A and B are shown apart, each in its own frame.
With several copies, the nearest count.
Chain A
Amino acid sequence: MMLEVRGLTKSYGEETAVDGLSFSAERGEFVTLLGPSGCGKTTVLKTVAGIRTPDEGRVLLRGDDVTGAKPEERQVGVVFQSSSLFPRMTVRQNVEYAVKPHIDDADERRKRVDEVLDLVEMSDKSTASPGSLSGGEARRVELARALSYEPDVALLDEPLTGLDRALRNELKNEIRRVHDETGVTTVLVTHDQEEAISVSDTVVVMNDGEKEQEGTPREVYRQPRTRFVAEFVGESTRFDGVVDRSGDVTTDEGAKVRVNGRGEGGEGDEASVYVRPENVALVRDVDVYDNIFSGEVVELTEMGSHAEAVVSTEAGDILSEVRGFSDVREGQKVVVGFDDSDAVVVADAADGEP
């Protein structure tokens, strides 16, 4: 295991930032800590880097306990949330300064600097001052600098925040490409679920300093185990009700939602069923779907690549994604359907909530 974090706890005064968090990253793995602002994810990153000292818990790098070690005694590369390029040094000097403690030979050092600037396609800006770089360019150089001394772990703190959407997409792909080429173990911190899901091998969803769920992007998106995860990671329609003998859920409004195998709940448990809008189809008549509700389109929002329709039914408002050329209009009577295998149950027994 390249990185292990065990039972990490850290308070600032009365406020608990991180509460007993554990996770790990294998060599070459890309792990993302995903959670809302203030959930403690940056504190985790800074503790791994040795910038914060935990109240409790251990940090292990390559199996060695480094909990008490200073930052300079660890092999970590960090990209901080706000640009931390040294303003009085050029791009090249920034990277050179990072490599210096690790490579004694000047020629070899120069070669390494050339390599990493090449890697992020910033060779032609090597004499530029950080102030003259665009947001995306500065990020690239910071990434190169953090990887230049071949750290055990690269720690990236919201590297895409504050950039335009188009640039964010480009840089996200860049980060993944650089990870794949260098094979460096990477921990990224973000509040953006789309970013987390599209870039990571493993996603750790955090809330209020605790781990809510850990899994592959697909697991976290399709098999949320808590209400928080279901609601924070992507959009869904939520039905509240009680699990019946067959494992299906009868909602508080009396509607029955059929469920097939995703999530868990014992008979009589209070539970919520979640279904993603892209799994809810608008149909004209009763169809092959296991769950069918008729209602009326009360809101239709154009999203560019698709539209989102809110359909008011006897089971409540249901969100459906409408694709392709469609003549759906607000006020129209429609029938919505979704498969029982696309419905996820989160029961209170599993959630721990009342």
Chain B
Amino acid sequence: MRRRETVVFGGIGAVLFLYVVYPFAAFFIGTRGAGSDVGSGFREAVVNSLVTAPVATAIATVFGVPLAYFLSRAEFRGKVVVEALVVLPLVLPPVVGGAMLLMGFGRLTTVGSIAVSMGVPLTDSLVGVVLAQTFVASPFVVVTSRAGFSSVDEDLEHASRTMGHGPIATFWNVSLPSARTAVGAGVVLTFARAIGEFGATMMVAYNPRTMPTLIWVDFIARGVDGVVAPALVLIGVSLTVIVAVQRLERIPRLRR
């Protein structure tokens, strides 16, 4: 880009950039010194978040990556409807997702009451947190992996097949390695969405606290200054996730 384009497009774009950066800077400047004030329940919330988010991510990945591969390769009637439903949680407001989950897994529902009788309550429990996080975050790994699989030349798979490898061996040895940066980015984004999940978690499992719900509770009790510690932890996670995604998506770019 030459000077004139840079000024026009960069100048207009800078407005949005500064709007995003300003609160970030204000937060770090405003919280200097206040950071050591850790509210009660902080430790428990960190542990809860660090247990539930990886579990939700693992569930989404184990089932979501095959689903993504299936959607990228199979053609069938009604595929567009299946795709729409898989992506739905991505655009559905989390509070609505939470309400839906309560209708499906609440204590008074068939599924929920059976689970309670087995000693595994699906709401207001860590299981409930995982249910909420998985519901809201899983589309990330499906959508990103699907795009990754779609960009793998199918002739690579055909080549593997003609060599005598079956479809499962071909998936493990050819398709998955070729799409691994996209799948990796999807997993990381799913984790970020899961660990930051708030709306659906509030409805399904107000207790036990995760970091986002703790921030809300602390905010109600003590205002903005009370949320610094959990917010900093989550900011750290977010920054790590962004760096990881950038690294993953850089690799193929450099090779081209």
Contact = CB atoms under 8 A, between A and B. Distances in A.
Contact between A and B in the complex (any CB pair below 8 Å):
yes
Interface of A: 46, 49-51, 70-72, 74, 76-78, 80-82, 84, 86-88, 97-98, 100-102, 131, 145, 149, 151
- The SS class assigned to the A binding surface is loop
Nearest to A75: B164
7 contacts: A50-B161, A70-B2, A72-B163, A77-B163, A86-B178, A97-B163, A97-B173
Contacts of B90: none
A100 B158 CA distance: 16
A98 B156 CA distance: 12
A72 B173 CA distance: 15
Nearest to A74: B162
Given A82-B155, A88-B177, A101 B165 contact: yes
Contacts of A145: 159, 163
B155 A87 contact: no
B153 A84 contact: yes
B158 A49 contact: yes
Given A87-B178, A131-B255, A77 B155 contact: no
A131 B256 CA distance: 8
Nearest to B252: A87
A78 B164 CA distance: 12
A80 B155 contact: yes
A98 B255 contact: no
A75 to B, nearest CB: 8
A102 B162 CA distance: 12
Contact of A88 (B158, B164, B178): B178
Interface in B1-39: 2
B178 A78 contact: no
A76 B162 contact: yes
B183 to A, nearest CB: 13
Interface in B58-114: none
Contact of B163 (A70, A82, A149): A149
B150 to A, nearest CB: 16
B174 interface: yes
B162 A72 contact: yes
B223 interface: no
A102 B164 contact: yes
Contacts of B155: 80-82, 84
A77 B173 contact: no
B166 interface: yes
Contact of A51 (B161, B163, B164): B161
Given A70-B2, A131-B255, A86 B156 contact: yes
B159 A72 contact: no
B162 A84 contact: no
Nearest to B256: A131
A165 to B, nearest CB: 24
Contact of B159 (A70, A74, A78): A78
Given A77-B162, A78-B158, A84-B159, 12 more contacts: A51-B158, A70-B2, A70-B161, A76-B162, A77-B163, A84-B155, A97-B160, A97-B163, A98-B163, A100-B165, A149-B163, A149-B164
Given A71-B162, A131-B255, A84 B177 contact: no
Contacts of B162: 49-51, 71-72, 74, 76-78, 151
Given A87-B178, A88-B177, A131-B255, A80 B158 contact: yes
Contact of B161 (A72, A81, A97): A72
A71 B156 contact: no
